[in-house]
Structures are given as structure tokens and as C-alpha cells.
Amino acid sequence: MMDTEEQLFEVFENILRIRNECSCNIFSECGLSDMTVRQIAYLKAIDEQEEVTFSRLAEITRNSKPTITEMINKFVRRECVYRKPCTDDKRILYIRLTDKGQKIANAEHNALRRVIERMMDSLDEDEMDLLIRILQKVR
């Protein structure tokens, strides 16, 4: 028989596997199952900024402007971002996420939501209440 630590390890490993599976499904739904961790981080950085320019994104990600330009061009081809000219100064371009880019940037959050939905489908109300109370104790 397994000890408690091993059982917990197995349970959480399964939950993480389900979360990863949900993340992969989200990327597949977008037709982008080959996204790298770095690319997802760039999309998240764009998502976190209200108005982000190429220069500002280069600062945030600690990359050169040519590297950012190349990456944004790839994202444009993959329909994850678009360029929006500044209304006051047409020389300034803002990088904005498309719906597809937004979905990818929020994939981890949405994958976790899917895991929770699966838990809710698997547990009754009393079990969910107990699970919540137990997990709230974890610090």
C-alpha cells in the first residue's frame, strides 16, 4: 500500500496531466499545437499591456527590436496579433491580440477552468465543499 505522500503525488500528477491535456486542446482548437513556452509568454506580455509598441515589448521581454519585429511578423501570419496605428502619430504601431491570440494568452487560465469543470462533473456538492475547505488550508 502507498504512503500518504505517494498518494498525494499521484493525485496531483493526475490533475496536472489533465490541466496539460486541456491546455493542449486549447492550442489545437486554435490550430497552434506547436506554440513554444516563450511564444506564449510573449502573447501574455502583450495581453498584460494596454498599449504596447514594438520598442516597449522589446524592453519588457529583454529582446532587440529586430527580434520582436520577426516574432510579431510570425504572430501576424498565425493570426495571433495585428498592428494598430496610433491615432495621434501614424508612425507608432501598437501590437494587439486577435481573439485567437487572446485565447492562447489565457490558455493556462482557461485550462484550469476546464479542470475545475471536470472536477465539478466528477464530485457531488458535498465532496466539492469538502475539497474546497481542504485546499483552502494549504498555504
Question: Which CATH code fits 4-137?
Answer: 1.10.10.10
Residues of the chain with pLDDT > 90, as a percent, come to 55
Q: Is the pLDDT of residue 104 over 70?
A: yes
Check residue 82 and give left, alpha or beta (phi > 0: left; psi -120 to 50: alpha). Answer: beta
Question: What contacts 101, CB < 8 A, 6 or more positions away?
Answer: 43, 46, 47, 75, 79, 80, 81
Return the pLDDT at 1.
62
Q: Which residue has the cell 507608432?
A: 92
pTM of the model: 0.71
- pLDDT, one tens digit per residue, over 9-35 is 999 999 988 888 888 888 888 887 778
pLDDT value for 74:
93
pLDDT tens, position by position, 28-49: 888 877 788 888 889 999 999 8
